[in-house]
Amino acid sequence: MRRAPATVDSLSMTASAAAVASVRDVSKTFGARKALNGVSVEVGAGEMVALIGPSGSGKSTLLRSITGLQSIDGGKGVIEVFGEVVQKNGRTTGQCRSARQKLGMIFQQFNLVGRLSLFSNVMLGALGRIPGWQGLLGVWPSADKQKAMAALHRVGVADYAAQRANTLSGGQQQRGAIARALVQGAKAILADEPVASLDPVSARKVMELLVELNKRDGLGVIVTLHQVDYAIRYCDRVIALKAGKIVYDGPSTGLDTKQLIDIYGPEFEDAFWEAKA
């Protein structure tokens, strides 16, 4: 299932249609700062990948670029999702929306619509699939309503379906966001610091859910994490970014102290949340 760690010759690698995301020579500049500097990486279907690196290393930018929420620099950089080009020449393409439907996005701040009920928020996952007018008026097909309740039940927050999202705790909201990705019928999940705003207990639950979706449902998962111990514990493959470049790409078991110092500097232990693994 796992692919060989990407190296320089990944540039010549042809993207298989099954790849969740194929990023080739992508750069992104904010003002004078290069958030991504010629990044090439490929994530295959069914992989569970952690993106780590100090803050400002470009891991969130990479993730947001894959869903087209962030445009990349013009030039030769190309991003493909499930074989469809989503970004090219610094612009999102027309296929961007159909690619987004296949990717469930989880955010650090959950990004649920606070004044809508948890149920409505989860129903929004169907927007990309159902006819436009139905989505506009909120006329959800009853099969999708069943699907939403099943998803809420699966992540363990079905009891709160009728409550406004902003009345729920962070952990409950994040699980709601995962339910939204399930209703979406996503084939892969991109999670941008999904546990950074949560307490450790909720954080573990959310990570375990992601692992379950990966192992049981075969969804590809790419997750950015501040916490190296979480990356090592929950993910098989780790990609480390530093100043917009990939400095490590390989099995999470291959990360040793020398490499961590390389990535985070001598205070690398600060990047562990709980005890050092």
What is the contact surface with another protein in residues (CB under 8 A)?
67, 69, 97-105, 107, 109-116, 124-125, 127-129, 132, 135-136, 177, 180, 184
Q: With respect to another protein, which residue has the nearer C-beta, 111 or 259?
A: 111
Nearest approach in angstroms of CB 138 to another protein is 8
Nearest approach in angstroms of CB 176 to another protein is 10
Residue 84 φ/ψ, nearest 5 degrees: -100, 135
Q: With respect to another protein, which residue has the nearer C-beta, 8 or 136?
A: 136
Nearest approach in angstroms of CB 100 to another protein is 4
Q: With respect to another protein, which residue has the nearer C-beta, 134 or 259?
A: 134
Nearest approach in angstroms of CB 144 to another protein is 12
Q: With respect to another protein, which residue has the nearer C-beta, 107 or 248?
A: 107
Nearest approach in angstroms of CB 271 to another protein is 25
Q: With respect to another protein, which residue has the nearer C-beta, 102 or 237?
A: 102
